[in-house]
Amino acid sequence: MEYKETLTNINIIRDWWFNLKKGYTDLNTLDYTLQKLTGNYDYLAEYLSESYKDYLISHEYKKIGMSKQEQALMSIGESATAAKSIAPMKEKDLLINHAQIESEFFFLKNKLNSTSKIIEAIKQRISNLKKEL
């Protein structure tokens, strides 16, 4: 399943769950919704794993790029302190790329966490309904 499709599916179910009327008792629909949400949750976990790998690689590239830039600045006479403060300005694209990758990683991590809470809430609703009916 595609990344955007997975997020769309999760958001549709989240919105459905948020707007569900009090007293809803259709166990079949709840079971089916739970099935769909847990499947999408698994896809999301895979995307998070890939995103984490990208994040780690980006973090290393950032460290290497900054270190090389600092070394280059010191080789032309800048102090270590000056090189540390100038290097980020020289590596702006590297830092922006890293920030975007880091942002995506934390977005997916938070999305996975919130989806997990919805799954648990639906499970609880199903359990309660089975006791009541």
DSSP letter string, 92-119: HHHHHHHHHHHHHHHHHHHHHHHHHHHH
* Confidence class for position 16, pLDDT limits 50, 70, 90: very high
Span 96-117, pLDDT tens digits: 999 999 999 999 999 999 999 9
CA 79 from centre of chain: 39
Indicate the residue type of 105.
Answer: F
Q: What is the pLDDT of residue 35?
A: 98
Taking 80 as the threshold, does the pLDDT of residue 133 lie above it? no
Q: What is the pLDDT of residue 86?
A: 95
Decide if 109 contacts 48 (C-beta within 8 A): yes
The domain limits of the chain are 26-132
Q: What is the pTM of this model?
A: 0.87
Span 3-15, pLDDT tens digits: 999 999 999 999 9
Of the chain, the percentage scoring pLDDT greater than 70 comes to 100
Taking 90 as the threshold, does the pLDDT of residue 68 lie above it? yes
Mean pLDDT in the chain?
Answer: 96
Instruction: Output the six-digit token pair for 129.
Output: 């309904």
CA 82 from centre of chain: 35
